[in-house]
Amino acid sequence: MEQTVILSVHDLHVKFTLRGKVLHAIRGISLDLYRGESLAIVGESGSGKSVFTKNFIGLLDKNGWVDGGAILYYGMGGEPADLAQYHTEKEWSRIRGREIAMVMQDPMTSLNPLKTVGWQIGEALELHQGLKGEAARQKAIEILADVGIPEPERRYKQYPHEFSGGMRQRAVIAIAMACNPKILICDEPTTALDVTIQAQILDLIKELKEKYSLTTIYITHDLGVVANVADRIAVMYAGDIVEIGTCDEVFYDPRHPYTWALLSSLPQLGVKGEELYSIHGTPPNLFNTIRGDAFAPRNPNALKIDFKHRPPYFAVSPTHKARTWLLDPRAPRIEPPTVIRNIRSVREKRT
Ligand SMILES: Nc1ncnc2c1ncn2[C@@H]1O[C@H](COP(=O)(O)OP(=O)(O)OP(=O)(O)O)[C@@H](O)[C@H]1O
Ligand SMILES: [Mg+2]
């Protein structure tokens, strides 16, 4: 399959100032996003998933800034636009919503409680697609049906508080879709939605992706929900992508000890009668300079070099790479935990 890049991030650094101190939130991420793919970004709370992607729509908090790198957007034809150089609202208005849309973690904060859902979709349709009156109403109802909201004609007239949590999330996606974006980013809440609803939203995104040839990024802390749905998975740790590969590569052949730990702690993969694995320790404090592999202090098998030098990416396949010294040809052979080696058989047995 021929793949064209729609968004290319090069060595992106993002920093914040907080009470006079500097926090290095994104520590040199590079990523090519392909047109039409669905990428999942997974990682613990605080790993930088939201901060990373907020840079694509210019919604970094005011105390944050891009401290180096480029974000090349190829979606508008001609020369790519470097979003890392965008500063004004005027510049961002060409991108935000109409090229790249982001569905935020908390659907209640992105919906206006005082306006009907139909009105809010209509507003986006008028602004981005020039539709008004009956044409806009028809289109809005079509979009509500597209996002799987039953009885769209009735729902159109309702207010956000009349929607359940899952339906609200769909309404927010409907508003995003009304802008007709090329890239849709869904930043899933860690707690507000249960796993079943997350799975339904993922199915929905898959349908929208097919119907509208969208490129999608789905953000979650739960590797389990993106299994078999995403084309690729990027694993984030401490402001960096530590492993990226196709869904199969990350699930069946993970190479970074952090990915091992994430997979080992999935309840779905737990062995009956055995205590579920949990990652001990806490993520590093990003106010401090990080030396070596950021995961080393929590990695029971860390090598000496892990505490000294930051590992480069080592390619496992043309589509799979991980930032770990374990992939260096000189590294001692360390086997992944048993649960990882068993994943294939556990999963095969259960399906
Ligand atoms: N406005 C801000 N000022 C200072 N630090 C910030 C700011 N916003 C985010 N951070 C820090 O940047 C890091 C990444 O945060 P981010 O919100 O991207 O994490 P996340 O992976 O999205 O987590 P979650 O799963 O909880 O949403 C964290 O250490 C966070 O504390
Ligand atoms: Mg977040």
Tell me what the pLDDT averaged over the chain comes to.
91
Instruction: Find the range with the poorest average confidence among 51-60, 264-273, 335-344.
Output: 264-273
- What type of residue sits at position 33? L
Q: Which residue has the tokens 């891009």?
A: 66
Share of the chain above pLDDT 90, in %: 75
22 touches ligand 1 (CB under 6 Å): no
93 touches ligand 1 (CB under 6 Å): no
CA distance 187 to 106: 9
Residue 180 scores a pLDDT above 70 = yes
CA of 51 to the centre of ligand 1 (A): 6
**What average pLDDT does this structure show over 48-67?**
96
Q: What is the pTM of this model?
A: 0.93
Q: Whose CA is nearest to atom 26 of ligand 1?
A: 45
Return the SS3 of 155.
helix
**What is the number of alpha carbons within 13 Å of residue 321 lying toward its C-beta?**
12
292 touches ligand 1 (CB under 6 Å): no
Confirm if 301 and 258 have CB atoms less than 8 A apart.
Answer: no
- What type of residue sits at position 188? E
In this predicted model, what pLDDT tens digit does every residue of 110-154 receive, in sequence order? Answer: 899 999 999 999 999 999 889 999 999 999 999 999 999 999 999
DSSP string, 218-245: EEES-HHHHTTT-SEEEEEETTEEEEEE
Q: Determine the atom of ligand 1 nearest the C-alpha atom of 62.
A: 1
CA of 59 to the centre of ligand 1 (A): 13
Q: Is 343 or 124 the better-scoring residue by pLDDT?
A: 124
- What type of residue sits at position 157? K
Quick one: pLDDT at residue 200? 86
Q: List the domain boundaries for the chain.
A: 257-350
**What average pLDDT does this structure show over 49-58?**
97
Residue 271 scores a pLDDT above 80 = no
CA of 187 to the centre of ligand 2 (A): 7
Quick one: pLDDT at residue 106? 72
241 touches ligand 1 (CB under 6 Å): no
In this predicted model, what pLDDT tens digit does every residue of 186-242 receive, in sequence order? Answer: 997 665 567 788 788 889 999 999 999 999 999 998 888 888 789 999 999 999 999
Q: Determine the atom of ligand 1 nearest the C-alpha atom of 236.
A: 21
